Chain A
Amino acid sequence: MSRSGDDPLPDKLTSRPGADPKTPSEGRRFEPSHAPAGNGAIAAAEPIFDVEDVSVFYGEHRAVRDISMRIHRNEITALIGPSGCGKSTFIRCLNRMNDLIPTARVEGRVVYHEEDLYDDRIDPVQVRKRIGMVFQKPNPFPKSIYDNIAFGPRVIGMKGDMDEIVESALRRAALWDETKDRLKTNAFGMSGGQQQRLCIARALATEPDVLLMDEPCSALDPISTGRIEDLMMELKENYSIVIVTHNMQQAARVSDMTAFFTVELDDAAKHRTGHVVEYDVTDKIFTNPEDKRTEDYVTGKFG
């Protein structure tokens, strides 16, 4: 698969920030081009995921290709780009959810806590206990609020007082006050925004250290969206968050790092393959991106 020759590409780098970004090469790893002013976090940023040359295939069709990036702990990392670029496909690689699709195949490595998630020895069920996910459309179970939250801890065999676990999760999701008097009512009776916060609480109940969010606000009204964004900013102190979003303003508001995806057509224009054009500190992506395609997207010229 050929690329046009005039892309300015950062080098495949070690974890030293500030390395020369101008040398083009294949299989580039993204690192921020400079430390942002006043925020020492990048220099000290620890990785939670080291993604190495990940490609996802559905049968013969390559949906995303050659993704290499380092996602940092206790940050919000946003994945943006037009529809169909493989953002959702990619985020589902981080918790082995692509396993659910029979024809899907993942190449490359996703290193988490020194283990490659795609190693043969790794149990996807264990992976999902540590890496939680919230989906685009809220999907509460047809059970009570209490049982929704308690489901995860129960099935993974968490020890402890269930009442406390449920309360703690609901508090972390800023939902406790609204629900403490109706824990036994059916979750389907909640509004859309509340249901999504319930799904966040449910994901937090199993005490993961990562929360993956696949367009969590796209089915919600602006007020609920705002509440969830506030929630995310609170959560990032204790969790690492990766969020796919169509909403550029949202990415600019909440995220620390942003990856911009785009899609290429193959020569016969039959297959669309997504890949990452640029991955950098959010400020830079939105004010002074390296790649013209990124600039066109964030300034609204297309997408």
Chain B
Amino acid sequence: MADHAPTETLALRVQFDTEAQQKDAATLGMWLFLVTEIMFFGGMFAVYTIYRSWYPDVFAIASSSLNQIIGALNTGVLLLSSFTMVMAVRAGQLGQRKAIVIFLILTLLFGGIFLGVKAYEWNQKFEEHHIPGQAAFHLDGVLPGDQGHAQLFFSIYFAMTGLHALHMVIGVGILLILIVQARKGRFSASYYTPVDVAGLYWHFVDIIWIFLFPLLYLIDRHLVK
């Protein structure tokens, strides 16, 4: 790299003119990425919307077979993790290196709890024969002719919570990397951008869940016995 290769720092890479420009670009980049994620999940939300409008009764019954208490608790766990993520970013802003690590670890823990609970819920579905595509599929309270529609609900349930969980796993991976870097002292008040943009990602995954929970767990509960 000849010409007059300027010295590169974490906060100011060679393609940027100022640190503010770099941080700005990183933030814009992450927001754009989140827009792509909205479009990605949006496709699945569209599928959900269409099939729910076609088979509202079956979807209500299928939804009521999900455990709303566990779902609500898990939602709380995820919200907590977003809180600790915010605290990690705040620690970054203040240059509190130890606090960054602690809050990232807490976020990771809560995320892990969420995933563990999700695995438990999926296992429940397996035990209850609610896995679509299986010959043994059967949803109580739904007539034989409508079992296919019930399978659709669970197809969507597994696809959406599965995709969400995958994004959480990726998020957990990112947190691990950040924790390692934070422990090595990579972040400071003048450079904590990776924590910042990872926070954006984490909040986004949280928000997706905030939509998923009512749409999947709470459909028409008041109408279903």
Chain A complexes with chain B: no
